[in-house]
Amino acid sequence: MNLTNKVIWITGASSGIGEALAKLLAKEQCKLVLSARRTEELERVKKETGLSDDNVLILPIDLEQYQLTVEWTQQVIAKFNRIDVLINNGGISQEGYAMETSAAVEQKIMNINYFGNVALSKAVAPIMQQQKSGKIAVVTSIIGKFGLANLSTYAASKHALYGFYDSFRMELKDDNVAVLIVSPGFVNTNVTLNAVTGDGSAYNKNSPAQENGMDTTVFAKKFVNAIKSNKNHKYIGSKELLTVPFKTFFPNTFYNLMHKMSKKKNG
């Protein structure tokens, strides 16, 4: 897929991976729709892309309000008249044992990471089907391939995305609409700092895994290359990606090791 002049809608564009993608895609001469909750951060990202008002739309959204996805999509069409790529990247992480996590927090994580994500794709897909072209890129995680202590609902939400999009891809293919699943390993963002705890308060601490993770600009380059390719799925990260084949081929050893590591981390 050639990205020049394409209309690309990025959720979670106010920081981290989404921000890095916005800056790189602006250099590729794309027209961008930047979405997240924090309007002032979206304005900062817009300014740092150097794009003119004609080529960028700030569209504040809260993925928890997913009954509004059709309305949001109409706003994008009113400005650009088409949508070539949706990057469904907005999401929230978790820090807390399942037994200490309220049902309200579990619902919130699922609403943002799964139901909001899926509702947005279902609002955008008919436009792409009509165009007979388009790509939905969805950000899951290697935590969508196995679970870890403290991350039960986050892992569930990311596992659910695989199931939905592996199915949805087949339903869109005949209209020339593609689905790319991107599974990051560790990326150096504030995702853990912004995580919610079991009672819904902010975790407010970063994790060494993220601090030592891949730089967002390096990550964004690999992500954009995957969008340009015909790939259905792409893992992006470093040696932590080996956890996925390790779990597949040696599941018992994997779970014993991860259990020991989580004991060490959580005391």
Ligand X SMILES: NC(=O)c1ccc[n+]([C@@H]2O[C@H](COP(=O)([O-])OP(=O)(O)OC[C@H]3O[C@@H](n4cnc5c(N)ncnc54)[C@H](OP(=O)(O)O)[C@@H]3O)[C@@H](O)[C@H]2O)c1
Annotated catalytic residue 154: yes
Interaction residues for ligand X, span 97-136 (CB under 6 A):
112
Sign of the Cα pseudo-torsion (106, 112, 118, 119, in order): positive
Residue from 154, 165, 203, 255 carrying the catalytic annotation: 154
Give the Cα separation of 97 and 141 in Å (integer).
19
Kindly report the backbone phi and psi dihedral angles of residue 234, in degrees, each rounded to the nearest multiple of 5, phi listed first: -145, 125
> Using CB under 6 A, which of the segments 44-52, 59-67, 127-135, 145-153 binds ligand X?
59-67
In the complex, the smallest distance separating the C-beta of residue 258 from ligand X, rounded to whole angstroms, is: 16
198 binds ligand X (CB under 6 A): no
| Min CB(176)–ligand X separation in Å | 26
240 near ligand X, judged by CB under 6 A: no
Spell out, one character per residue from 152 to 181, where the chain touches ligand X: x when CB under 6 A holds, - when not: ------------------------------
Sign of CA dihedral 192, 20, 231, 121: positive
Yes or no: say if 178 and 85 are a contact pair by the CB < 8 Å rule: no
Q: Which listed residue (1, 3, 28, 41) binds ligand X by CB under 6 A?
A: 41
**Which residue ranges make up the site for ligand X (CB under 6 A)?**
11-12, 14-18, 36-38, 41, 61-64, 89-93, 112, 139, 141, 184, 186-187, 189-191, 194, 210, 213
